[in-house]
Amino acid sequence: MSFSTWPGYRPGHRWVIDERADRPPRVRFVRPLGVLEAKFDDASQRQGQSDTFLRLKVSLPASVDDGDVQCAFVARLSLAWANLRASHPLLATTVRDAPHVETIPMCRTREFQYEPPGSTEDALRRAQKTILKVDAAASQLDAAMDDLQGQHILNGERVLLDQSTMARLVLVVEQDTTELGFFLLISHVISDGLSVFRLVNELFSLVSSPDLPTPATSPHLLTVDAFLAGSLDSPAWEVPGVVARPWVSMPPPDEVLRRLPLATEDHFPNIPLSSSVLSSSTPQPTEAPADTEPHLSAPHAPPSAARQRWFWAITRILILLRQRHFPRSLHFPRLAYPSPPVQANTRWPFLRFNKASSAGMIRFCKRNSLSPSMLLYAILSMSLANAFAKIHPHEPYRPVLIGFPFSARPFLEPVATSSSDPSSDCAIRITFGTIHLPNIPQDPTVENLEAVRATVLRGARLAKQQFTKRLAPERQSRSLFLASAYALILDRLLSSTGRNPIPYEDPKTAINASSVFLCVLLEHRPLPRSHRPPAVIGDVDRLLPTTFSFPPLTASHLRLHEMLVGTRLHRGEGMLMETFTWDGMIQVCLGVDDKLIRDEHVEGILEGMRRIGEVIAGSESPQQ
């Protein structure tokens, strides 16, 4: 097979029951990894680069015996985790080499494998093996969480996730207290199919459900230290069936198949499109098609080989023209290394605006018909402009480029329909784009406040205009989106196989953000924009509440707070920013590779955003 005859997706890319001779007696489902999934799988095999984490604290309701409350919470959380793994089986998949079948030219085929548990007890046992705990000394909860994050989640050997463990919970427990640390770790291989915030919401909604019973005992969780020393199993947790069955049901194989998501590109139409136009009645791909035939069923006759060759040839020309005319941005200088270190030394400093400042910034947005995301883009671009003015005082003007990920789902259907995802709205269908913002440095001093506000407002409106134009899911936009998406897929594949003829000479830095993310890449990273990892800016309050009821205690609640999200950085990535609004506060998290980025640049970006944000908040009184 060659790229000129490749149909644009992986042939045989549906979930199917594994019929190979070496399978165990139990049913097993398999599917080749998608294009983006394969990219993250490659990174995961390099000490877990791009693995994601969500960190927060859980405050339990006070009681006469805080130890009993803590045990009840751990028990309900363990059962809820088993339920979540059954509802979203992608969490419980493994990844392995597939038999040698080249379904994309020059690309090794790797595949997901999912073997449903044989019973409720088996589901609980498997789920318990993916939960670990850390025992924190008295009054040392924060320090224990920081140590775990710095030593094992972000840096060092990849020990908490592997090819057979796509997701894991880690609890940091301080005995006989009402506060715990919580980590959800997810391999980026499955992140395209699952939204972390929705998963956490679903997890704690199960914990708080009054219809689900509380076990009389809690599991003996394996500690991280014991796990690292080689222990793999904790003592069995005996949960009576009458308690366990309401939590974890065993769906039949056809229901399991319905819950397994496809890769993003398998929701795209076959290419190049034939002369027949897809109508609104054209069947769309579902997560579980009625049949499990290995090939996608096309709504029209497949195009000829000549038509495919012309399609890919024209696509390559368009990519080349776009690359030549793409504007350049300035870059952050890196520390003196002859080449990027083998592994990043990652940390995640953060900026959290207090509730008063956050409320002022949100009032500014409402008064000017903007979303907080657009305001954050503008604040970020000004902070970067101020940094670039010091680093490159004599460079000619260049815009600030901000790349962003967004959901492709609105563009994958000819007409707007309800979600095709089963169980819950958890699939992301991630893809990427770029906007340009002005590079206008403004020092937020007392004498310059009005100029700063005016420049930020213009930048936010410009960002809004670009997003409105790029993301409106109209028919014409959908056609342009699909053409661009296939160009991106081809570009990514050619680069990953070392066959990309286009020289990427211009990008010394890319600033990637989104209605949920940003990323700054260093000058030495020789990757095209389509490969650059994104970050997140978004309203998480819509997705994840901060309080949940706690049935074991009448009229009581548990509270979630102090959330951080981030990833284990890629080699040479340098910086990756994630910013979101949650618990009434705007928060900026900046992932940094200390081997490549100077501390003063990191502090300058965050301090610049803080000062500019305070200027915006200060212009809004509570009465406005």
Tens digits of per-residue pLDDT, 98-149? 876 666 666 678 899 999 999 999 999 999 999 999 999 999 999 999 999 9
Spatial neighbors of 485 by CB under 8 A, at least 6 apart, are 265, 268, 408, 411, 431
- β-pairing, 167-174 with 131-136? parallel
Between CA 7 and CA 14, with CA 11 as vertex, the angle to 5 degrees is 130
For residue 150, name the pLDDT band (cuts at 50, 70, 90).
Answer: very high
Q: Which residue has the higher pLDDT, 288 or 207?
A: 207
20-43 mean pLDDT: 81
Work out the angle at residue 529's Cα, subtended by the Cα atoms of residues 526 and 531, and round it to the nearest 5 degrees. Answer: 75
Q: Is 488 helix (H, G, I), strand (E, B) or coil?
A: helix
* Confidence at residue 473, expressed as pLDDT on a 0 to 100 scale: 66
Structure-token match 């070392």, residue found: 498
Phi, psi of 491 (to 5 degrees): -60, -45
Q: What is the residue-wise DSSP string for 270-339?
A: PSS--SSPPPTTSPPP-SS-SS--SSPPPSSPPPPHHHHHHHHHHHHHHHHHHHHHPPP---PPPPS-SS
Nearest to 609 by CA among 437, 393, 458, 387: 387
**Separation in Å, CA 198 to CA 210, 352, 427:** 20, 22, 10
Span 455-507, pLDDT tens digits: 999 999 999 999 888 777 666 677 777 777 777 777 777 776 676 665 554 33
Looking at the DSSP bridge assignments, the partners of residue 558 are 548
Q: 3-state class of 438 per DSSP? A: coil
Tokens of 66: 């805080």
Alpha carbon distance 163, 161 (integer Å): 7
pLDDT tens digit sequence for 53-111: 999 999 999 876 767 899 999 999 999 999 999 999 999 999 998 876 666 666 678 89
Kindly report the backbone phi and psi dihedral angles of residue 216, in degrees, each rounded to the nearest multiple of 5, phi listed first: -75, -20
Summarised one tens digit per residue, pLDDT across range 173-190 is: 998 788 999 999 999 999
Higher pLDDT, 164 or 477: 164
* Per-residue burial over 240-278, b = 16 or more CB atoms within 10 Å of its CB, e = otherwise: eeebbeebbeeeeeeebbbbbbbbbbbbbbbbbbbeeee
pLDDT digits (tens, 9 = 90+) for 362-384: 999 999 999 998 999 999 999 99
Domains for the chain: give ranges and CATH numbers. 16-259 (3.30.559.10), 345-416+428-469+500-533+571-618 (3.30.559.30)
Containing 359, the helix (H) or strand (E) segment is helix 355-367
Q: What pTM was computed for the model?
A: 0.86
304 pLDDT above the threshold of 90: no
Strand order in 29-32's β-sheet? 16-17, 29-32, 110-114, 94-97
The string over 84-104, giving b where at least 16 C-beta atoms fall within 10 Å of a residue's C-beta and e elsewhere, is bbbbbbbbbbebeebeeeebb
Does residue 344 carry a pLDDT above 80?
Answer: yes
β-bridge pairing 29-32 and 110-114: antiparallel
d(CA 584, CA 129): 35
Closest CA to 611 of 496, 489, 430, 453: 453
- Mean pLDDT within 311-330: 73
